[in-house]
Chains A and B, each alone.
Chain A
């Protein structure tokens, strides 16, 4: 596992896998795309809703990753930053494990503001934070291969990398969620929703803890 985290391929796979994980989870919004298409009676509405969900999700990812990209300037504290990030992710996982409540303010967002909803839900449930240890792992491998370079170059490289990570993750999320939404709209019908929805709250919290834990393990080894 630790090897996987130190390997670039493994880390990119994690970026994609977490995207698929977020995408197929109904709680992240694909049923809203089906609803939009059914409400308007046009498939175009499905894609518009998916685009809004993707924009919100992407914004949440980049909003969390960019500050960490800036911090890569502090090369000498790389390890500390990675440890802190991993601990924060673990702490959020533990919090979600104990407190299973869905934040009530999310229910006040009008259904017409899907991008805002998607942004806030990704933040509230730690979907964005889940990516941080993976991203920092990628920064580490990039820095290793680049050797000693100017801090500015490193930072712009890190910023570019954060954009790439957020894009690939959101791409995987929206392609998988979109595929489910399309299939439900086209073939399965809405019955699929209640049949396929599993309570992943515990799994979700545990996966946050796991991502943080693996990232800590990778540093230690």
Chain B
């Protein structure tokens, strides 16, 4: 417990933007064949440092086969609401779930990059026993503690009951139990986020464990069996109040990115692929008079390709789908970054008018067919995937792996870990930094990135940006 609020907690997104820039990035490394333990890499991102862009410390886990994916902090700016009663928590621990093993690691990063160490391990049996959920995923700090979404229910293949969210104690990291009191039509899960002062939550759907663990199931994709619904919740009432079906052609509704300024009652959702035309899409959801609405506001077309250049899975289509696998919104709610993992493009949209996203920047790197190199001359395999934006909105970082078994289907030549950085112009525009090229240990892939002091997909703000 601190005597003052943690200096990285900010009342509003605007104050967070004015805070000092990050000097460290935390990136998850996974061993796709489980031959090595997964790890957390701590990367120096201070341009003035001699180690700029390089790993300065690695925390290697004691187990194999966890498959690291997403992760988050034990505490964020949401602590500055008197309603939480946790104003004096420290932003000190990273909560890292293994999406395959259901094991959860708590990593203490206090005391400098080289001091990071394992603080606690929650074994999968404890998670199963206390929640009936498996395959933990997204982490957010909320009113009652740490909220964790899961992708699986009980049983060996995670289909015994629907997946959902559980709550962890934000000080002891004990698992408290399930979040939902009334889940309504929700039977799949992926991401979630909220508007704390307005007391609502939004959640999305990927698919159930048998639909992703051994690779993408083509019949399910063609048959519209992956998630295509968005759910709206009474956050503190723990009730699903509205479910909207996007239509079963809109397969895999993944990242939820609400406007950071809680005055705004809207946000975005990325849909991976339309199974009728291979388009990727961006949707804008909003609340009006207590009712939620959603509309498709941007589409990204597939790129025609020769069957010989395509992996087995896509040969029949004669085109590369963009595959919108991650999106991220800058703290001023102005720029939405859209990762097109299939075509190998990072897009930057101006969403000042959330109903009319305007494409203002784009960078090509990797891609199934394009295979664009990094400006440093290094080969970048895979495509832009997990994207993270600095608090001030000037730097955009991303990695290249989606999920072990899916990587192998879309990029059969392998996806060795990569992490790159681009500079964003004040009024748009995106340029890759040729000096930023991270050397990763062999055999690893890279997934989500977290930035020191918070970033654009961790902190929830309780006060408007005025």
Contacts and interface: CB of A to CB of B under 8 A. Distances in A.
Interface in A102-121: 102-104, 106-112, 117, 121
B9 A111 contact: no
Contacts of B80: 31, 193-194, 197
A39 B263 contact: yes
A38 B82 contact: no
A58 B15 CA distance: 34
B113 interface: no
B318 interface: no
Contacts of B143: 107-108
A191 B82 contact: no
A199 B463 contact: no
Contacts of A121: 82
Contacts of A193: 5, 11, 80, 463
A32 interface: yes
Given A100-B1, A104-B144, 17 more contacts: A31-B80, A31-B463, A35-B81, A35-B462, A35-B464, A38-B463, A38-B466, A102-B85, A106-B83, A107-B85, A108-B144, A110-B237, A111-B196, A111-B198, A193-B463, A194-B80, A199-B87
A111 B199 contact: yes
List of 6 A-B pairs having minimum Cβ-Cβ separation, nearest first: A102-B85, A190-B11, A107-B143, A38-B464, A199-B88, A194-B5
Does more than half of chain A's interface fall in helix, strand or loop, or is it mixed? helix
Contacts of B83: 32, 106-107, 109, 111, 117
Contacts of B4: 194, 197-199
Interface of B: 1-5, 7, 9-12, 15, 80-88, 143-145, 171, 196-199, 236-237, 262-263, 462-464, 466
A29 interface: yes
Nearest to A34: B463
B3 A107 contact: no
7 contacts: A39-B262, A106-B83, A107-B83, A112-B199, A121-B82, A194-B9, A201-B1
A197 B86 contact: no
A100 B2 CA distance: 12
B9 to A, nearest CB: 6
A201 B86 CA distance: 11
Given A29-B82, A110-B236, A197 B87 contact: yes
User: How many residues of A sit at the interface, in one of the four size bands?
Assistant: 20 to 34
A189 B88 CA distance: 20
A197 B11 contact: no
A201 to B, nearest CB: 8
A55 B424 CA distance: 49
Contacts of A201: 1, 88
B199 to A, nearest CB: 5
Contacts of A107: 83-85, 143-144, 236
A190 B463 contact: yes
Contact of A110 (B82, B84, B199, B262): B199
A32 B10 contact: no
Nearest to B12: A190
A149 B35 CA distance: 88
Contacts of A10: none
A32 B82 contact: yes
Contacts of A171: none
Interface in A155-214: 189-191, 193-194, 197-199, 201
B3 A199 contact: yes
Determine which residue in B2, B3, B82, B85 has the highest number of CB atoms from chain A within 10 A of its CB, and name it: B82
Contact of B236 (A31, A108, A189): A108
A35 B463 contact: yes
A27 interface: yes
Given A29-B82, A39-B197, A111-B197, A194 B88 contact: no
Nearest to A102: B85
Interface string A33-60: 0110011010000000000000000000
B462 A199 contact: no
A46 to B, nearest CB: 13
Contacts of A28: 82
B464 A39 contact: yes
Nearest to A100: B1
A86 B2 CA distance: 30
B303 to A, nearest CB: 44
A31 B88 CA distance: 15
Nearest to B234: A110
A217 interface: no
A26 interface: yes
A51 to B, nearest CB: 17
Contacts of A103: 85
A39 B12 CA distance: 12
A189 B14 CA distance: 11
A69 B62 CA distance: 63
B87 A26 contact: yes
A104 B3 CA distance: 21
A26 B88 CA distance: 12
Contacts of B2: 199
A32 B196 CA distance: 12
Nearest to A40: B263
Contacts of A39: 197-198, 262-263, 464
Contacts of B263: 38-39, 41
A27 B88 CA distance: 11
Contacts of B464: 35, 38-39
Contacts of B463: 31, 34-35, 38, 190, 193
A103 B88 CA distance: 15
A34 B463 CA distance: 8
B121 to A, nearest CB: 23
A107 B79 CA distance: 11
Contact of B197 (A29, A35, A101): A35
Nearest to B18: A191
A41 B463 CA distance: 12
A191 B144 CA distance: 24
Contacts of B7: 194
Contacts of A32: 81-83
Contact of A102 (B15, B86, B199, B236): B86
Interface in A100-153: 100-104, 106-112, 117, 121
